[in-house]
């Protein structure tokens, strides 16, 4: 049996906790490109699912859909020419640098909130 498991759109949507129309929207934007059943319905593989997870992860960090697309490549671009690959590599390196900065930034955000917590704790003590 060569039956690799494929997901229907609503099945995948449920697992990722997004709506089917969001998935279709991402397809419109060129971020993902599923296969189709005999009757033209979308079919997603585990790879497609991983790609969607990656898209959602990027989103959680405030990357725009356009940025994510450049970061992970447009779904239907073949990506076989050397030039295209080099471009993607360069973009990836940039994004890795950005992620490194985000890590620092995240530490700062944490520190800021912790400092604020301290101030609040003190105010609360002063009230008692």
Residue 6: other Cβ atoms inside 10 A: 16
How is 10-79 classified by DSSP, letter by letter? Answer: HHHHHHHTS-HHHHHHHHHTTS---EE-TTS-EEB-HHHHHHHHHHHHHHHTT--HHHHHHHH--TT---
Site string for DNA, 65-104 (x = CB under 7 A): xx--------------------------------------
Q: What are phi and psi of 35, to 5 degrees?
A: -80, 180
The answer to whether 47 contacts its own copies (rule: CB under 8 A) is no
Between residues 1 and 82, which has the closer beta carbon with respect to its own copies? Answer: 82
Among 6, 16, 24, 91, binds DNA (CB under 7 A): 24
Q: Which residues bind its own copies (CB under 8 A)?
A: 54, 57-62, 71-72, 79-80, 82, 85-86, 88-89, 92-93, 95-96, 99, 102-103, 105-106, 108-110, 112-114, 116-117, 120-121, 123-124, 127
């Amino acid at each position: 049996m060569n039956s690799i498991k494929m997901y229907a759109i609503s099945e995948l949507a449920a697992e990722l906790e997004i709506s089917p129309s969001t998935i279709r929207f991402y397809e419109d934007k060129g971020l993902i490109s599923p296969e189709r059943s005999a009757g033209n319905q979308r079919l997603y593989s585990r790879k497609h699912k991983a790609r969607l997870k990656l898209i959602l992860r990027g989103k959680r960090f405030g990357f725009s859909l356009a940025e994510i697309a450049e970061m992970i490549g447009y779904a239907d671009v073949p990506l076989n020419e050397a030039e295209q690959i080099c471009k993607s590599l360069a973009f990836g390196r940039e994004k890795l640098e950005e992620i490194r900065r985000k890590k620092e930034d995240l530490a700062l955000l944490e520190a800021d909130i912790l400092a604020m917590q301290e101030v609040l704790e003190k105010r609360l003590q002063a009230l008692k």
